[in-house]
Structure 1
Amino acid sequence: MNITEFHQNIEQVWQKIEEDLEEQGIDADCETQGSVFTITFDNRTQIVLNKQEPLLELWLAGKLGGFHFAFKNDDWLTNDGKRFWNVLTETCAAHGETVHF
């Protein structure tokens, strides 16, 4: 994956998150500032996603901790094989929101 593809892929991920939260009626604000995408829930807790361009990674931080994802086999995965969408779902639950991605 080159840099352009990396950014396009991440933008699609962020767009899907916003759309899915809205479609499911989740009370959350999504904000993008540079390479950081923040989801702020009604209870003021946050999940922060970060583009790590030099490593071509997507990072996620929330109540469950921090996770680093690399794009492998058409999916964002941690080194131990956790899927991004599953971790995001579990992290949203830890923040008090039931969301399906």
Structure 2
Amino acid sequence: MTDSEYMDLAEALLKAVERGCDRINDESDADLDNQRVGGMVTLTFSNRSQIIINLQKPLHEVWMAARAGGFHYRWDGAQWMDTKGHGEFFDHLSRCASEQAGQPLSFSS
């Protein structure tokens, strides 16, 4: 994968996370705040816990830090998959966000 291809795919992921936050706030009382600075999105929950998603350009990875731990994702040609077998990015983000919010939250590409 070229750097340009990585950036297109990674940028689409970050935009999907931002759209997901907007949709969740419109459809629920989750009160999920998201802030983006460059290649990093920080999700802040009403209990002040956070999930941080950031791009790792040199490695062509996306990293996520949540209460459950730190996770690395690589594009497998179809989706962003955890490098240690924790599954697909959006499914995993949904599980971590639901846990931190104390209610079911769903993110998708």
- One fold, TM greater than 0.5? yes
Q: Deviations over 1:6-55 (max 9, x none)?
A: 12212211111121222222412211223321111122111001101111
Deviation at 1:100, TM superposition (A): 1.2
Task: Choose from 30, 37, 40 the match for 2:44.
Answer: 40
Percent identity among equivalent residues?
29
CA contact (8 A) 2:86 2:92 kept: no
Q: Deviations over 1:48-70 (max 9, x none)?
A: 01101111000000011011000
Matches within 5 A, 1:1-101: 1-25=1-25, 26-79=30-83, 80=85, 82-96=87-101, 97-101=103-107
Amino acid in structure 1 at the alignment position of 2:24: Q
Moved over 2 A (4+): none
Rounded to whole Å, the distance in 2 between the matches of 1:5 and 1:42 is: 35
Segments of structure 2 that go 5 or more residues without pairing to the other structure are: none
CA contact (8 A) 2:32 2:46 kept: yes
Amino acid in structure 2 at the alignment position of 1:3: D
Over the aligned positions, Cα root-mean-square deviation in angstroms equals 1.5
Structure 1 length as normaliser, TM-score?
Answer: 0.88
Q: Deviations over 1:61-95 (max 9, x none)?
A: 00110110000031100122611011101110121
Segments of structure 1 that go 5 or more residues without pairing to the other structure are: none
Aligned length: 101
Structure 2 length as normaliser, TM-score?
Answer: 0.82
